[in-house]
């Protein structure tokens, strides 16, 4: 009997080990880092800590000074102009090993999805060896990665909760993470004060990732009671905050931080649908960032998600955020072909959304039409 395509082994749900939550939670980081340092010698680790910090914080000592770093530690700033590439991850790991940081007491990732995913990938590679591309797929990571703590500074991607870390392999065109229980963070600091300085547009696009994960999951064929419960509450919180007067009030920022985490848990037990594969096409071929690409893709999804599309437009309007239009008008035939290839390659979510015959619905012409409608 053929193994069904959606049967990828979500049999045991792995969640984040522990977390601190609430305004000011960042002050708890020092204690967790110190605990890790104290046990380092017995655990064959070297007592130093690797911080991977979103470059946004490069000149923000008010945040950097609270991370608990010493002069012995390593702080690397993670550029966020491009989403993680397998080659860049490999270089980062090689640099750390060359600098003597192959067995840090913990890695602390401070930032958005790019930084958190980078931290997860690096932690896995420091113990598993090999190259990042070796682990793109399901359950290929052999042994637990280095201990890692996540400190999200923008909400929506759910990276803080999930068992994956999305990376693009430029040579193969594959945008896929290391889906593994070993990828899950050991500890999180969820401090909604950290999202107060995010630019409004970016806050909206990224927050919508949580909303869309759950819209797609709830419309799919692969459903389960736990995933549904996480997804329903995520959507509930998103409606409360994105249809409120100010999506960035302290209450709204707290709600979105919870929605992001729960949305990550939801997607960890289910699959996305159509928006994410089309979004991945935009990212791989045109270099558009994940969250804004989702919003662009959602514009063309009316026939698949009619109610959610209407609600999405209402949220954008309420928050006075503009989603750019026309990103795929007037491209070359080769570019449209590349967009098609980079979209239909995502067979799990597309099967979840449309069934195993999804390619009959998503023909080359149809896919090109949808991209042109964005
Ligand atoms: Zn997403």
Spacing, Cα 293 to ligand 1 middle (Å): 10
Sign of the CA dihedral with 363 first, then 368, 371, and 373 last: negative
Using pLDDT thresholds of 50, 70 and 90, give the confidence band for residue 138: confident
Say what the pLDDT of residue 172 is.
83
Asked whether the predicted pLDDT for residue 84 surpasses 50, the reply is yes
Confidence of residue 5 (pLDDT cuts 50, 70, 90): low
- Quote the ligand 1 centre to 230 CA distance (angstroms): 15
pLDDT tens readout for residues 265-301: 999 888 999 999 999 999 989 999 999 999 999 999 9
Identify the pLDDT of residue 1: 40
How many Å lie between the centroid of ligand 1 and the Cα of residue 280? Answer: 9
Residues 6+ apart with CB under 8 A from 113: 154, 156, 157, 159, 166, 206, 209, 290, 291
CB distance 343 to 175 below 8 Å: no
Of 53 and 7, which is predicted with more confidence?
53
Would you say residue 3 has pLDDT above 60?
A: no
Q: What is the pLDDT of residues 223-241, one digit of tens each?
A: 889 999 999 999 999 999 9
**Ligand 1 centre and the CA of 286: distance in Å?**
17
Neighbouring-strand partners of residue 20:
189
**Ligand 1 mean position to 23 CA, how many Å?**
25
Taking the centre of ligand 1 as the mean of its atom positions, its distance from the CA of residue 35, in whole angstroms, is 33
Give the distance (Å) from ligand 1 centre to CA of residue 89.
20
Which two three-digit tokens encode residue 228? Answer: 């549904």
Cα(231) to centroid of ligand 1, in Å?
A: 13
Closest by Cα among 114, 106, 109, 117 to 189: 109
Query: For the sheet containing 166-169, what is the strand order?
Result: 137-138, 174-179, 166-169
pTM of the entire predicted model? 0.94
Q: Please state, in angstroms and as integers, the Cα–Cα distance from residue 28 to each residue in 25, 45, 66, 113, 233, following that order.
A: 6, 22, 9, 21, 27
Residue from 222, 149, 155 nearest 187 by CA: 149
Give the model confidence (pLDDT) of 18-42 as tens digits. 999 999 999 999 999 999 999 887 7
pLDDT at 44: 77
pLDDT tens per residue, range 304-363: 999 999 999 999 999 999 999 999 999 999 999 999 999 999 999 999 999 999 999 999
pLDDT value of position 163: 93
Give pLDDT, residue 7. 65
Strand partners, 188: 19, 150
- CA-CA-CA-CA torsion sign (84, 88, 94, 95): negative
**pLDDT of residue 6 exceeding 90:** no
Ligand 1 center from residue 276 Cα (angstroms):
6
Residue 214 · residue 305 · CB < 8 Å:
no
Residue range 142-154: mean pLDDT, rounded = 97
Q: Are 269 and 10 in contact (CB under 8 A)?
A: yes
Å from CA of 275 to ligand 1 middle? 9
Strand partners of residue 52: 76, 109
| CA trace torsion 214, 250, 115, 206 (10° rounding) | 40
H/E element, 148: strand 148-152
Question: What does the pLDDT look like over 88-134, one tens digit per residue?
Answer: 999 999 999 999 999 999 999 999 999 999 999 999 999 999 999 99
Q: 161: CA distance to ligand 1 center in Å?
A: 12
């Amino acid at each position: 009997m053929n193994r069904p395509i959606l049967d990828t082994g979500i049999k045991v749900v792995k969640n984040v080990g522990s977390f601190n939550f609430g305004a000011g939670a960042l002050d708890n980081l020092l204690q967790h880092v110190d605990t890790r340092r104290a046990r380092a010698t017995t655990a064959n680790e070297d007592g130093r800590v690797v911080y991977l910090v979103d470059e946004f914080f490069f000149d923000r000592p008010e945040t950097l000074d609270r991370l608990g770093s010493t002069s012995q530690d390593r702080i690397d700033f993670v550029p966020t102009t491009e989403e993680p590439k397998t080659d860049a991850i490999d270089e980062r790991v090689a640099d750390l090993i060359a600098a003597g940081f192959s067995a840090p007491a913990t890695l602390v990732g401070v930032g958005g999805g790019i930084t958190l995913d980078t931290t997860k990938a690096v932690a896995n590679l420091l113990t598993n060896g090999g190259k990042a591309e070796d682990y793109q797929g399901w359950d290929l990571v052999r042994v637990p990665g280095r201990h890692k703590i996540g400190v999200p500074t923008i909400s929506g991607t759910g990276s803080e909760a999930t068992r994956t870390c999305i990376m693009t392999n430029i040579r193969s065109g594959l945008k896929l993470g290391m889906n593994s229980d070993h990828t899950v963070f050991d500890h999180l600091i969820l401090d909604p004060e950290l999202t107060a300085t995010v630019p409004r547009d970016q806050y909206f696009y990224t927050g919508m990732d949580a909303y869309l994960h759950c819209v797609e999951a709830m419309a799919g064929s692969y459903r389960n009671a736990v995933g549904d419960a996480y997804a329903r509450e995520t959507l509930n919180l998103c409606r409360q905050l994105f249809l409120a007067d100010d999506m960035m009030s302290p209450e709204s920022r707290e709600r979105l931080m919870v929605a992001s985490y729960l949305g990550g848990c939801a997607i960890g037990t289910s699959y996305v649908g159509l928006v994410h594969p089309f979004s991945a096409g935009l990212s791989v071929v045109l270099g558009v960032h994940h969250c804004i690409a989702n919003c662009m893709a959602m514009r063309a999804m009316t026939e698949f998600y009619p109610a959610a599309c209407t609600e999405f437009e209402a949220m954008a309007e309420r928050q006075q955020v503009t989603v750019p239009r026309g990103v795929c008008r007037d491209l070359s035939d080769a570019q449209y072909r590349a967009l098609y290839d980079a979209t239909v390659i995502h067979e799990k979510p597309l099967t979840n959304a449309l069934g195993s015959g999804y390619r009959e619905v998503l023909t080359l012409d149809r896919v090109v039409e949808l991209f042109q409608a964005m």
